[in-house]
Amino acid sequence: MSETTLPIMSSRRLGELLRLLKEADTVELKLSVPDADQRSAVTELGMDPLDAQIRQVVFFDTPDLVLDGAGVVVRARRVQRRPGDAVVKLRPVEPGQLSPGLRRSPDFGVEVDAMPGGSFVASGRLKAPLDNAHVTDVLAGRRPIRKLFTKQQRELFAAHAPEGIELDDLRPLGPIPIMKLKFSPGEYGRRLVAELWFYPDGTRILELSTKCQPGEALNVAAESRAFLGEHGIDVGGVQQTKTRTALSYFSGQLTGSGASGP
């Protein structure tokens, strides 16, 4: 999303975006940096890899990604030097169709993710803290998958997962090592988050993002585009999504198709 992409959006798409912004709790503006430009982006933005935090993410789905097809994402994350977390996410989601009780939950939030080119999607996320060791136990087969999730998360999963699919029926997709860095370039005036995902086939995705309130999203998008452009970072390239790339790769490994990439 940017100044140059907004004019070419259809009236319907622009209306949809504005409606979602009114119903969302937060907005995350995302940009994936092409592999060939990642080294220069690190240098230009003054990112110090020694300040990064190591994380490990694993998704859970069927080998043929039945959950993904139903708009449900199940994920657990281990985090260096702090507790991990477990997430059940609905993506895409219509905020107005969510139950009032779920919307009132302090652990649930609706976020609009927006990327260059005018693409955007709303998701609803129910998040809970998690012991890192429990994720390790699940990956080793010593603990059932359902034990990673709270009662409220299990209920949300049961309400939206395809009929007949239980949490313990799922397969781990991952884990994927990640380096995450939070930093604030002085001239930008906002905090940026850089995540570098390392996939088993050697693919890397570097994503830059910043969060803001829905009411300031359009201004922040324009400011971010200008700042990144001034530092030689291409905001018009092909975008890759971290989750899509992970699901495609590991599904390919489980089904024998060897699929990878976005």
Question: Cα separation of 48 and 102, whole Å?
Answer: 39
Residue 260 located in a structural domain: no
Burial of 12 (0-12, 13-18, 19+ CB in 10 A): exposed
Q: pLDDT category, 98, cuts 50, 70, 90?
A: very high
In this structure, what CATH number is given to the domain that contains residue 240?
A: 2.40.320.10
Helix (H) or strand (E) holding 228: helix 217-230
pLDDT of residue 239: 82
Range of the domain at 187: 6-255
Question: Cα separation of 23 and 11, whole Å?
Answer: 19
User: Is the Cβ–Cβ distance between 250 and 173 less than 8 Å?
Assistant: yes
Residue 243 located in a structural domain: yes
Our CA dihedral for 37, 42, 46, 52, rounded to 10 degrees, sits at: 160
Total domains present in the chain: 1
For residue 28, list its beta bridge partners: 113, 211
Residue 262 located in a structural domain: no
- Tokens matching residue 228: 């990144």
User: Is the Cβ–Cβ distance between 38 and 45 less than 8 Å?
Assistant: no
Mean pLDDT of 40-47: 94
Q: Specify the DSSP class assigned to residue 92.
A: S
- pTM of the shown model: 0.91
Residue 226 located in a structural domain: yes
Residue 13 located in a structural domain: yes
Indicate left, alpha or beta for 176 from its phi (over 0: left) and psi (-120 to 50: alpha). beta
Q: pLDDT category, 5, cuts 50, 70, 90?
A: very low
pLDDT of residue 202: 93
Q: pLDDT category, 35, cuts 50, 70, 90?
A: confident
What rounded mean pLDDT belongs to the chain? 91
Residue 37 located in a structural domain: yes
User: Is the Cβ–Cβ distance between 116 and 235 less than 8 Å?
Assistant: yes
Mean pLDDT of 19-44: 94
Return all residues near 211 (Cβ < 8 A) that are at least 6 apart. 26, 27, 28, 29, 193
